[in-house]
Amino acid sequence: MSAAFFPVATLATSLLAAAIIFLLPEGAFRARTGLNLAAAVLKIGLVAWMVRGLSQGHSYAVEFPVLEGLAFVLRADALGIMFAGLSSLLWLFTTVYAIGYLEDSPNRRRFFGFFSLCVASTLGISLAGNLFTFLIFYELLTLSTYPLVAHRGNPKALAAATLYLRFTLTAGLVLMLGMVALHALAGDIRFGQREVLAEFGAEQRGTLIAIFWVLIAGLGVKAALVPLHGWLPRAMVAPAPVSALLHAVAVVKAGAFGIVRLVYDVYGAELSQALGLLTGLAIVASVTILYASLRALAQVELKRRLAFSTVSQVSYIVLGIGLFGPLGTIAALSHLLHQGMMKITLFFCAGNYAEELGIHRIDELDGAGRRMPLTSLAFSVGALGMIGLPPLVGFLSKWYLGTGAVQAGMPWVIAVLVASSLLNAAYFLPILYRLWFCPGPDHGVGEWPAERHLGRFETSSWLLVPALATALFSVLAGLFAGLPYSPLEWATRVANLEYLP
């Protein structure tokens, strides 16, 4: 089959699924579920095929000119396919979860339609081969996420969605300005053509630095860098699967992935280092990590605390980018995957508590470990991973960040990491304490806010299985990090492509 087939087919799977879902009537539950799952599985298959092909040396690309000197490019490279693999795998779990979560709720057609569109845009972002294509899908992602955040339709959800739109649309505009400036300076740069900007002389230094920070400001909103993070904690009013999508699969990841592309594939790590941009990024990331951890400490709502934790954890990726050298790159890329697995687990579990027991606040979690042991186990795995304890994947990220910091000559980053670990422990361990050690309604103390019995097990299997699966992934990916195709191994492979000629 031709090289053009796979990228287009992967993208078309989700787009087509979205179109058909919009056409299906609201009541066609089975058809919609089947379609959703089939599309998700098909997409994983296509991505896996491309992974295999890439490691055998095949290449997959399609492009056509849009204007003179501006092309629409879809291309599967190692970095893009890594992100595509993450999002399609997690999408499967999120889809299963969303089917269980939205059972019997209105407007499912709208929800799943935009849901598919959202994932299609994420795939587009991962396969985009230049900034122009990237921007198209980046904006599509913004627009397709709005209905999901606003899904519940109550004033709070509408307000949060409006805030989200304001932040992201403004950011899109800023991003476009930066892109146009870069285009005017250097023409259409394909991702990976690092030599284009490297050839500019010293007289363009100032311009390049300015354009870089404009682009970072545009990408930083989705990546939730402080002080551009305001929308993320507010958006937690959205249903749990949407939160999972926002925090782990698509939106913040798209921002972080954009920064990865910008630094490694447009500017190149050497040029960024020479311009002093990486140190700036590391500082911004460190401030974000510490500030968001402190804010998370003060939250009383579970999902809000998790949201601030996301702000902090996503900046680990940016911090890794800021550490010049292969180890920092490995840290950034592997954390892109690791954070996704851990955070999606946490949000699934938070959703389970809300659905099954009506729990939204942290102090209502007392003794939930007895009522919902498997969910609580998955939550504990995610939380301990966030703290960075082995054998979970969070430890690996922290290890590479720390060693990468020394390699980059910035040992002060280790102090940030240790402080962040302590803060993470300070806001996650009390939750675990409440889950497992405090007596709760199942010990005869008080009662659950709104208990329902959704399934044969502790809750509906549609909700339980995805949480357990992602938790299991984050344990296995940590324990057997040395195996081929583990997230760490794949990140190492990409980093070697970047640094070794």
Residues that bind another protein (CB under 8 A): 327, 370, 373, 384, 388-391, 395-396, 398-399, 402-407, 411, 414-415, 417-419, 421-422, 425-426, 429, 436-437, 439, 443-444, 478-483
Task: Count CB atoms within 10 A of the CB of residue 216.
Answer: 25
- Which amino acid is present at 446? G
Sign (positive/negative) of CA torsion 253, 244, 486, 2? negative
Shortest spacing between CB 386 and another protein, in angstroms: 14
Q: What is the CA radius of gyration of the chain?
A: 22
Between CA 345 and CA 351 the distance in angstroms is: 10
Half-sphere exposure of 154 (CA within 13 A, CB side): 6
Task: Count CB atoms within 10 A of the CB of residue 158.
Answer: 14
Shortest spacing between CB 480 and another protein, in angstroms: 5
Shortest spacing between CB 250 and another protein, in angstroms: 27
Q: Which is nearer to another protein, 326 or 466 (CB)?
A: 326
Between CA 78 and CA 256 the distance in angstroms is: 16
Q: Which is nearer to another protein, 186 or 425 (CB)?
A: 425
Task: Report cis status (omega within 30 of 0) of the bond before 227.
Answer: yes
Shortest spacing between CB 442 and another protein, in angstroms: 9
Shortest spacing between CB 373 and another protein, in angstroms: 7
Q: Which is nearer to another protein, 466 or 478 (CB)?
A: 478
Q: Confirm if 223 and 255 have CB atoms less than 8 A apart.
A: yes
Shortest spacing between CB 437 and another protein, in angstroms: 6
Q: Which is nearer to another protein, 116 or 376 (CB)?
A: 376
Shortest spacing between CB 369 and another protein, in angstroms: 10
> Which three-class secondary structure state does DSSP give residue 223?
coil
Q: Which is nearer to another protein, 138 or 448 (CB)?
A: 448
Q: Which is nearer to another protein, 123 or 323 (CB)?
A: 323
* Nearest alpha carbon to residue 438 among 362, 387, 346: 362
Between CA 219 and CA 196 the distance in angstroms is: 22
Shortest spacing between CB 421 and another protein, in angstroms: 6
Q: Which is nearer to another protein, 418 or 450 (CB)?
A: 418
Nearby residues of 282 by Cβ (< 8 Å), 6 or more positions away = 319, 322, 323, 410, 413
Q: Which is nearer to another protein, 178 or 402 (CB)?
A: 402
Q: Which is nearer to another protein, 61 or 389 (CB)?
A: 389
Between CA 255 and CA 217 the distance in angstroms is: 10
Between CA 320 and CA 110 the distance in angstroms is: 38
The DSSP letter of residue 189 is P
Shortest spacing between CB 325 and another protein, in angstroms: 10
